[in-house]
Amino acid sequence: MTGPVVNLWRAGLRAVPDGVWTRTDAEVLILADNELTELPDTIGELTCLRTLDLGHNALTAVPDRIGALTGLSGFLYLHDNRLTALPATLGRLHRLRYLNVGDNPLTELPDSIGDLEQLLELRAQNCRLTALPAALGALSRLRELRLRGNHLTALPAALSGLRALRCLELRDNRLTALPPALAGLPLLRELDLRGNPLAQVPPWLAELPALEKLDLRWTPHPPAPHLVDTLERRGCTVYF
């Protein structure tokens, strides 16, 4: 455990060795694929961290002190744990660019997630989300939003604020409609709506100027022929 990288991947850990918390020079900390169930507040002492990987453990909570890691500018991996909530202090990580909280029994995301002003990619797939905070619409730099396999029944119109969004993955949710405001996403290239019980395929999808791939498989109603024709003439591939 020397240098700016502390790598304890698959080390069979049930607790983090005390020596890790003295490594205040560490820029990368990898604790993935262990058997960790909790983290001490001393994690907040590692203020030089740029990347933190806590994926594939058994964590039931993330300490509020994670908000002290304001140097995190790369990745924060929290996927495949047992998290039922995320701390509001997560919103203090203003430099963070990649966040993965997927494969956790989360029922909601904190409003403070909208404060992650540098975020480029958010993954929250295979959770138990029933709704999204309107604050997500403040993530003006976000390029990828992956929400596959949740319990979403509606989307906030505020997502129209995601002006840099390229990929929106909504497969296997419970959406019956989409907010028309999403027609204003100027850079959206991929829209995955597979497996949603949409009451109809919105005609305004033809207004998405950059759309290259639209996936409507396993939805109850086929798209209107003129919608498919309009999109395909623009070079968009439509699956249904």
As averages over each run of 10 residues, the pLDDT of the chain (240 residues) reads: 85 97 97 98 98 98 98 98 98 98 98 98 98 98 98 98 98 98 97 98 97 98 97 97
CA torsion, ordered 182, 150, 167, 58, to nearest 10 deg: 140
Tokens of residue 10, six digits: 């698959």
Task: Report percent pLDDT > 90 for the chain.
Answer: 99
Number of structural domains found in the chain = 2
Model pTM above 0.95: yes
Same structural domain, 223 and 236: yes
Q: Are both 159 and 225 inside the same structural domain?
A: yes
In this prediction, residue 3 carries a pLDDT of 67
Nearest residue to 96 (alpha-carbon basis) of 74, 125, 114, 80: 74
Same domain, 100 and 134: no
- CATH number of the domain where residue 53 is located: 3.80.10.10
| Pair (104, 147) in one structural domain | no
pLDDT of residue 28: 98
167 and 92 in one domain? no
Say if 86 falls within a structural domain.
yes
* Non-local CB neighbours of 229 within 8 Å, separated by 6+ positions: none
Q: Contact, 136 vs 113, CB < 8 A?
A: yes
* 122 and 137 together in one domain: no
In this structure, the answer to whether residues 24 and 79 fall within a common structural domain is yes
Q: Which of 61, 68, 60 minimizes the C-alpha distance to 42?
A: 68
Range of the structural domain that residue 20 is part of: 1-108+118-126
